[in-house]
Copies of this chain bind each other. A is one copy, B any other.
Amino acid sequence: MGRHREFDVEKVLDAAICVFWRKGYEGASYADLTEAAGVERPALYSAFGNKEALFRKALVRYYERYVDYVPAALQLPTAREVAAHLLQGAIDLTTRYPDHTGCLGIQGVLAGSDEAEPVRQALIEARAEAEAQLRQRFERAKAEGDLPETARPDTLAAFLMAVLHGMAVQAKAGFSRDTLEAVAEQALSTWPTDAREGSLRPKPQP
């Protein structure tokens, strides 16, 4: 009973992702969102709630569609492969689309009026959860003998997250893909290697 919805909810979410990605949570206005989605304002409100709810749903879909390399990376056999795959995935994600570079998740953490506070907190928590998963993965690697006994999983996770975030900022500032790959290679050159396995890329300078 009743009229049917005439637009595709997931397509609208994809359009919202692009807008938030390019302009951030605060920078994206409803005028931008409706124009990109081809849907009028009240339709967005009835389908998703207010702006914050729309952003959260877009963020969930963003993680599923664009940041799927993270769970994939965590299942790789060695800690070094996990790190390498994460770095490469981040480079792809932040440079693939010229009109919205960087990372949607990072955009919201920084920009900072008061009304964005709950969104910022949500992004901080998501980031902390990702780092926790990474740390646990490195602890497992240590237990498996994949990382040396002297390795500190928490430091490695924090360091890797710092490089990933820094590359996202640099991508937003217009860094080329080649430069970011050099950065990732330099970061990987610090990776602690167990005595049993040889380093894949022993020196950053060939």
Residue of chain B at shortest CB distance from A29: B113
- Measured as residues with beta carbon below 8 angstroms from the partner, the interface class of chain A is 35 or more
Interface residue? A27 (CB, 8 A): yes
- Chain A positions 9 through 36: 1 when the CB is less than 8 Å from some CB of chain B, otherwise 0: 0000000000000111011010000000
Residue numbers of A with Cβ under 8 A of B are 22-24, 26-27, 29, 102, 106-107, 109-114, 116, 124, 127-128, 148, 150-152, 154-156, 158-159, 161-170, 172-175, 179-180, 182-183, 185-187, 189-190, 192, 203-206
CB of B204 within 8 A of CB of A192, answer yes
* B residues less than 8 Å from A29 (CB atoms): 113
**Given known contacts A27-B113, A161-B166, A161-B170, A186 and B182 CB-to-CB distance under 8 angstroms:** no
- Residue from the list B102, B107, B169, B205 in contact with A166, Cβ < 8 A: B169
* B residues less than 8 Å from A159 (CB atoms): 182-183, 186-187
CB of B172 within 8 A of CB of A113, answer no
- Residue from the list B23, B175, B190 in contact with A112, Cβ < 8 A: B23
CB of B190 within 8 A of CB of A186, answer yes
CB of B110 within 8 A of CB of A102, answer yes
Residue of chain B at shortest CB distance from A175: B158
6 example contacts (A-B, Cβ-Cβ < 8 A) are as follows A24-B113, A107-B112, A155-B185, A156-B186, A158-B180, A190-B190
